[in-house]
Chain A
Amino acid sequence: MSRRQSLRDPRQERRQFAWRAIVMGLAVVALYAVMVARLIYLQVIDHEHYAAMSHDNRVHIAAVPPPRGLIYDRHGVLLAENVPSYSLDVTPEQVPDMAGTLEALKSVVALTPDDIRRFKQALRRKWPFQTVPLRFDLTPEEVARFAVQRYRFPGVDIKARLRRYYPFGGAMVDAVGYVGRIDAAELQHVDGQNYAGTTHYGKTGVEAFYQERLHGRVGYDQIEVNAKGRQIRVLSHQPPVPGDDLILSLDAGLQQVAEEALAGREGAAVAIDPRNGDVLALVSAPSYDPNWFVDGISSKRYAELRKNAWRPLFNRALAGQYPPGSTIKPFMALAGLANGVVTADQQIYCGPYWQIPGDPAQRKYRDWNRYGHGMTDVSKAITQSVDVYFYRLAFQLGIERMHGFLSRFGFGSATDIDTTGEMGGLLPTPAWKRRARNEVWYPGNTVVAGIGQGFVLATPLQLADATAALSMRGERFRPRLLRAVRDPISGKVSERPADALQPVQVRQSYWQAVLRGMRNVTQRPDGTAYRQFRGFDYVVAGKTGTAQVTSHIHSDNSSEATIPYRLRDNGLFIAFAPADHPLIAVAVVVEHGGGGDVSAAPVARRMLAYYLEHNTERRNGRLVLKPDLPAQLDLQPTQPRQAGAPS
């Protein structure tokens, strides 16, 4: 390093530094300009985008499920309500030791392995900050016990919800149905938005049929959340629209009477107001408590219901298909009259049995009365249930004409009632037999169909519906369970007009002949249900039926008691009252009850007695229905509409 080189040149150094400082100054300005450009890009050009992202970040939309519409009977009695129920909810992220907490909780509230399994499953699908219910429907004691020991369980809380409750238990389930937890298949076909937050769904009955009406519209809370999704505050609240309240045509009292009358038996009873199709009672026995199903039935209890030989889950009123037996005779009589096969005052000799003319096998179709009934006209044939009369009538009518006429009363097809699970009956034709059984139709099939045996099947609802049409001399209404809808906010009740169907039109004299026969069933000593209705306050028109369950032919002197229960005949009874201006029509089936007179008729009698006693008054010597619905326009404000905030 030379000496010259090591000499400093302060002016040169200073000038060089000055240049470099200016370069750096410019560089700084340039760098800051880049930042400014970037800021302009973010805050001006892309502002909307980031503002939207920021909004999404902080605002979560939480669905508020609407309170489900309530269900009332025709008098305003609550059949399905929403009651506050307390559940134990766990917020996983706040629980320091989940296993320990669950173990310790067992000493405070009852926890079944089912509860814990379900809880652990739900846990996997949720964020740690989302609460997961552990136990539903805590008892008041459990709520109190937990409240005292709450300090021991961080992250565990009691939450109030609304739970569907059926105060009548099993008495209404066949008509009202029940709700259960919504399942994946149901979620598939519902409007996802409207069901966000909804946990329960109508599974059967009116609850299922009117699911959409009962559900209402979902509400929304705009909730401000922090980055961890925890709620900071509610920004806006769009309240849900509660589902419509339904006022059913059912009479809860009548329903209970029928339930009691059928207690301990297998059977069904259906009552209809023939003037409009209102279903007043729809009972299947035995029954089960729908409340078991609301929050999920235990597998053990469900297995018990399934395995029960009496099939309590089976809705006999809607889906039980029974041979109608002799209850079909009034309809057959009308068919014979309408088709000119018989006339109203024509007397026909009815011996102990009947044979198809020219039948080479000489097969005997026996009457229930081994001595026969002698000279019989159409009314007597109904009153005394003369089988021989109807064998002959059916044969002369032929199966096609029989099918044509009876189907006008609704036999052979579902009534289209506004509930779920209805089965059609069966009104056979040769074509049906070929299709279903690949067999030809024999004349004998027609003959036994004439007394409601063989292939003919009807549900109790169909029988009641046809009876109602009979009582109204052919005027028909579609049976219905929904009578009126109540707007849950205004309280306004809108009645639903009756749904009139194509009437069955025949000459008045034919109706008179048939209805006279039915009235005599209960009024004349030779009537098949005379003993059951002796001394009854109202004039009842009815028809007994006894239908063989199997094709076994029991000897004439075999008594019911000696026959195994499962082989015993079904007892049936159809009736309406008062006979001259009917207000109620009923059909009762008692499985394996034996004769319809002794098994089914008493059930019908109790139902008719209750209904007429409680719903009618005498005006000018005539029984008229007391007004019911108009007086009920202001049903009491219903139960709590909103689940209370957790304490």
Chain B
Amino acid sequence: MRQDTMDSGIAYWLRRLHVDSMLLLALLALIATGLFILYSASGQNADMVARQSTRLLLALGVMALVAQVPVARLRQWAPWLYFAGLLLLLGVLLFGQVGMGARRWLDLGFMRFQPSEIMKLAVPMMLAWYFAERPLPPTGKQLVIAGAIVLLPVLLIAKEPDLGTALLVGMVGLFVIFFAGLSYRTMAVFAVLGLGSLPVLWHFMHGYQRERVLTFLDPERDPLGAGYHIIQSMIAVGSGGVYGTGWLNGTQAQLDFLPERSTDFIFSVFGEEFGLIGALILLALYVFIVLRGLDIALRAQDTYSRLVAGSLSMMFSVYVFVNVGMVIGLLPVVGVPLPLVSYGGTSMVTIMAAFGMLMGIHSHRRLVAH
């Protein structure tokens, strides 16, 4: 009885806070799993776990805050956010901080900030804003404009260079265009054109990017360099077997064989220590979150909400697929974190803000309808 009352009390408050309890539960489960595996992947570094927890709390706060903002308001902000983001990206290229051979950060004095992160949200918002004003499906001219809206920031980000983020921003843009009603025939034409342009793309790629692709195709090419990551990661995952070696018992993870094991390659640690069963559970959590996002999009009552909710859910899905795919040797090594699990702050805040939007879309639905 008392339990019920409390539960309904919590549910009530969550509703009042525009927080979707299903999403929240799945996210919290994911976050908890992430902290556990981070403790192992960081070499049992409690400080790192504490820092990550702080960030997660902050990100949860951002999520709750964004959820409070009515969708209509967010929609109005979309162009402003988008153009501000573009300016910041230009600023990065002109004045940005150089780190690891790329200009990605702006030093704001108190923190370093990656404007490309804004674009992960600003691009789908801008596109949704653009399409919501017009009847769908889009005309050819609208598609060209939409393409430009996506391509501009993608090129700026790719120039930094930050291939992973450029890819994600491009993908999320394409999802909006797809959801807006891009015809399958046009898609087929672009697919052919895209394949045709691969050699051109190859020409413009940086040496290290080409190396990554080649290494992906044949990891043994460079077993101590770029291929080393993939080989060691596959060894970690493969040696985990069905049941895994157990938490904190992964030798690959614990003994420094895995590079970047607490950031991009954290899934390898998970795969080694929790095995196939653990990996399936983790992937199921992700699938659940994505499908819940799509569900929210389906139920949304206006085009803008649908497009934003659908594309953000898909971006989240792409995040997971690119990261896990890279770790298990399905995709080339691209610097994309495993959302909400990899150690690191910026992308986590963006993702939680996206979920805040999703929750807002869901909980403000009736208000809009009425």
Residues of A within 8 A of B (CB): 1, 5-10, 13-14, 16-18, 20-21, 24-25, 28-29, 31-32, 34-36, 38-40, 42-44, 46-47, 49-51, 53-55, 57-58, 224-228, 232
Contacts and interface: CB of A to CB of B under 8 A. Distances in A.
Interface string B250-268: 0110011100000000000
A58 B242 contact: no
Interface of B: 134-137, 139, 175, 178-179, 181, 232, 234-242, 251-252, 255-257, 271-272, 275-276, 279-280, 283, 286-287, 290-291, 294, 297-298, 303, 306-307, 310, 314, 317, 321, 324-325, 328-330
A44 B241 contact: yes
A42 B330 CA distance: 11
A62 to B, nearest CB: 16
Max chain A Cβ within 10 angstroms of own Cβ: one of B137, B239, B255? B239
A39 B135 contact: no
A57 B179 contact: no
B310 A24 contact: yes
Contacts of A50: 234-239
B242 A44 contact: yes
Closest 3 CB pairs of A and B: A50-B238, A54-B239, A226-B256
Contacts of B240: 43
23 contacts: A8-B136, A13-B135, A13-B136, A13-B303, A16-B137, A17-B297, A17-B306, A20-B310, A21-B179, A24-B310, A25-B294, A28-B291, A28-B317, A29-B287, A32-B283, A35-B325, A42-B271, A43-B240, A49-B238, A54-B252, A226-B256, A227-B232, A227-B256
A235 to B, nearest CB: 11
A17 B328 contact: no
Given A28-B291, A227-B256, A42 B328 contact: yes
Given A17-B306, A35-B283, A40 B276 contact: yes
A58 B251 contact: yes
A53 B137 contact: no
Given A16-B136, A24-B294, A54 B306 contact: no
Contact of B239 (A8, A18, A47, A227): A47
A34 B276 CA distance: 14
Contact of A31 (B252, B271, B291, B317): B317
Given A32-B283, A43-B275, A51-B239, A25 B252 contact: no
B257 A58 contact: yes
Contacts of B290: 25, 28
A50 B303 CA distance: 49
Given A16-B137, A21-B310, A57 B283 contact: no
A68 to B, nearest CB: 35
B276 A21 contact: no
A225 B257 CA distance: 10
Given A21-B297, A29-B287, 10 more contacts: A17-B307, A21-B298, A28-B291, A32-B286, A35-B321, A43-B276, A50-B237, A54-B236, A57-B232, A58-B255
Contacts of B280: 36, 39
A1 B314 CA distance: 32
Contact of B257 (A10, A46, A49, A57): A57
Contacts of B257: 57-58, 226-227
Max chain B Cβ within 10 angstroms of own Cβ: one of A40, A42, A51, A58? A42
A38 B235 contact: no
A176 B119 CA distance: 83
Contact of A53 (B235, B297, B306, B321): B235
A25 B292 CA distance: 10
A58 B251 CA distance: 7
B317 A35 contact: no
B181 A16 contact: yes
Contacts of B255: 57-58, 224-227, 232
A17 to B, nearest CB: 5
Contact of A228 (B175, B256, B298, B303): B256
A43 B136 contact: no
A58 B137 CA distance: 57
A24 B275 CA distance: 28
Contacts of B179: 17, 20-21, 24
A439 B104 CA distance: 96
A609 B11 CA distance: 111
B330 A35 contact: yes
A22 to B, nearest CB: 8
Contacts of B307: 17
A296 B72 CA distance: 87
A43 B280 CA distance: 12
Contacts of A47: 238-239, 241-242
Contact of A21 (B286, B287, B294): B294
A36 B280 CA distance: 7
A294 B135 CA distance: 93
Contact of B235 (A1, A25, A57): A57
A9 B290 CA distance: 28
A400 to B, nearest CB: 74
B321 A31 contact: yes
A351 to B, nearest CB: 92
A51 B238 contact: yes
Contacts of A1: 139
Contacts of B306: 14, 17, 21
Max chain B Cβ within 10 angstroms of own Cβ: one of A18, A39, A228? A39
Nearest to B179: A20
Nearest to A42: B238
A225 to B, nearest CB: 7
Nearest to B245: A54
Contacts of A225: 255
Contacts of B294: 21, 24-25, 28
Contacts of A39: 237, 271, 276, 279-280, 328
B252 A57 contact: yes
A20 B135 contact: no
Nearest to B175: A24
Contacts of B324: 35
B133 to A, nearest CB: 10
Contacts of B236: 50, 54
Contact of B276 (A6, A44, A51): A44
A29 B314 CA distance: 11
B135 A7 contact: yes
Contact of B314 (A14, A28, A226, A232): A28
Nearest to A54: B239
Contact of B234 (A6, A42, A44, A58): A42
Max chain B Cβ within 10 angstroms of own Cβ: one of A14, A29, A36, A54? A54
